[in-house]
Amino acid sequence: MLHSDQAFQYNIQTYAKHLEMKKMIGSHSRRGNCFDNASIKSFFSRLKMEKLYLEKLQNLGEARSKITNYISFYTEEHIQNKLGYVSPIEFPNNVAA
């Protein structure tokens, strides 16, 4: 599944056929509701600013590795004010306690 917003490029037949060729299903946020994607847009902004823009990536394999490592760091170690100063992986435990 590949989720996107309602931008025109995600609603054209060429895009739908490409997803079908890749055996993927398209998913869209609700029309006119920018809040549906706010958290993921925030994450991707941080990923780009804190990792991808700071390094020259040589190839797709290196990009995949850097992104995977950043996702692990972000979910397991990155302390977040909005979560009560814990990492995202720790947050559910704190809420349940």
pLDDT tens digits along 34-86: 677 777 788 888 899 988 899 888 999 999 999 999 888 888 777 777 777 77
How many CA atoms, within 13 angstroms, populate the side-chain half-sphere of residue 46? 13
The predicted-structure confidence for 13-41, as pLDDT tens digits, reads as follows: 888 888 889 898 887 777 767 677 777 78
- Name the more confident of 54 and 9: 54
Residue 32: left (phi > 0), alpha (psi -120 to 50), or beta?
A: left
Count Cβ atoms below 10 Å from residue 81 Cβ, excluding itself: 7
- Write down the domain spans for the chain: 1-32, 41-97
Task: Check residue 95 and give its pLDDT.
Answer: 66
Work out the angle between the directed axes of helices 60-76 and 38-50 (0-180°, nearest 10): 120
- Could you tell me if 79 and 85 are in contact, meaning their C-beta atoms sit under 8 angstroms apart? yes
CA distances from 45 to 7, 12, 53 (A): 18, 26, 10
Cα 52 to chain centroid distance, Å, stands at 13
Task: Check residue 97 and give its pLDDT.
Answer: 56
pTM, entire model:
0.57
